[in-house]
């Protein structure tokens, strides 16, 4: 819902007049927008704030400069090189890092759809470290998570703010996690426009609709975790009225996550493999004991003879 994708601010555009008056395009969420405010000298120290990104002028999302590790495997067929994200994808792990925009959304949605087509019933794990971003891009990911047959577990590492917090809460019920020192922030959408009165009214109605939609989604997932009638829509609306920062314990209490992880849990496949190995070891031990008993019995028979 961003008017322009060709500007330096990414998923929104800024209009600055001689007095440094800033008007933001509609349908963005706060963290990324406020990073843009930080680029204006007269406003930088007064208003700039961000969640996970520096507000220094010209700073781009860390994802743009992420170093790409590669893994080399050698087999009878020869050598094969994988980038780290492709290798993780083979293990049904998706990493959502950085600003949520159209490019990020297209990548995540594609990965979700491919993993479902590969093995529909196997779970997917999505690791989230994001300050949020475009509502429409985020909703594309959210709807795809609900659309596919594969259950999607979410894990917050570092931080999940704004639209990213909705994705974190939108994971499979009972399988929404956060690591101990993560931070989570929820709030209402932020938008703005300029123009004639009728256009401003259209934008205002649209952003209000998006706010109501976000509140209903959050209420649904909070009540799944805490009970069907724990939160009313009005209570969720009040909760998301302003920026609400939460530690993992607070997020657990509210119902945004289901558990705080300190160690990686056993996967279903890992548990089954472990049980199989234990069963085989037990069977081998029993067979060994039976062989020993048979051998002892034969020795006694020989001695008696």
Tally of CB atoms within 10 A around 41: 9
pLDDT value, residue 283: 67
Average pLDDT score over the chain:
78
Q: Which residues are catalytic?
A: 162, 187
Mean pLDDT across the stretch 131-153?
96
**pLDDT classification of 74: cutoffs 50, 70, 90:** confident
Contacts of 177 (CB under 8 A, 6+ apart): 153, 154, 155, 156, 257, 258, 259, 260, 261
Contacts of 276 (CB under 8 A, 6+ apart): none
DSSP state of 192: -
Q: What is the pLDDT of residues 155-172, one digit of tens each?
A: 999 999 999 999 999 999
Does the pLDDT value for residue 25 go beyond 50? no
For residue range 78-130, what is the model confidence (pLDDT) as tens digits?
Answer: 888 878 888 899 999 999 999 999 999 999 999 999 999 999 999 999 999 99
22 has pLDDT over 70? no
Helices within the chain (DSSP H only) = 30-37, 44-47, 84-90, 102-118, 135-147, 163-169, 197-226, 233-239, 248-254, 268-304
Phi, psi of 198 (to 5 degrees): -65, -40
Q: Domains of the chain (ranges plus CATH)?
A: 84-260 (3.90.226.10)
Higher pLDDT: 243 or 59? It is: 243
Helix (H, G, I), strand (E, B) or coil at 99: coil
């Amino acid at each position: 819902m961003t008017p322009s994708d060709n500007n330096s601010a990414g998923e929104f555009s800024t209009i600055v007049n001689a007095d440094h008056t800033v008007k933001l395009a509609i349908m963005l969420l706060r963290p990324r927008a406020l990073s843009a405010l930080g680029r204006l000298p007269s406003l930088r120290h007064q208003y700039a704030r961000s969640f996970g990104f520096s507000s220094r002028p010209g700073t781009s999302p860390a994802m743009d400069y992420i170093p790409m590790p590669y893994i080399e495997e050698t087999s009878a067929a020869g050598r094969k090189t994988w980038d780290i994200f492709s290798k993780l994808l083979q293990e049904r792990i998706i990493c959502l890092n950085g600003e949520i925009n159209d490019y990020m959304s297209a990548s995540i949605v594609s990965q979700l759809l491919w993993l479902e087509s590969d093995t529909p019933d196997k779970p997917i794990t999505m690791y989230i470290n994001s300050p949020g971003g475009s509502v429409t891009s985020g909703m594309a990911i959210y709807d795809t998570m609900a659309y596919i047959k594969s259950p999607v577990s979410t894990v917050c590492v570092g931080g999940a703010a704004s639209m990213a917090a909705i994705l974190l809460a939108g994971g499979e019920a009972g399988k929404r996690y956060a690591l101990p020192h993560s931070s989570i922030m929820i709030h209402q959408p932020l938008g703005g426009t300029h123009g004639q009165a009728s256009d401003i009214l259209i934008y205002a109605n649209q952003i209000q609709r998006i706010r109501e939609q976000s509140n209903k989604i959050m209420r649904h997932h909070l009540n799944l975790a805490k009970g069907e009638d724990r939160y009313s829509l009005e209570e969720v609306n009040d909760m998301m009225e302003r920026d609400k920062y939460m530690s993992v314990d607070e997020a657990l209490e509210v119902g945004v996550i289901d558990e705080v992880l300190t160690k990686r849990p056993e996967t279903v496949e890992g548990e089954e493999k472990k049980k199989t190995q234990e069963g085989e070891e037990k069977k081998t031990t029993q067979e060994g004991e039976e062989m020993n008993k048979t051998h002892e019995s034969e020795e006694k028979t020989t001695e008696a003879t």
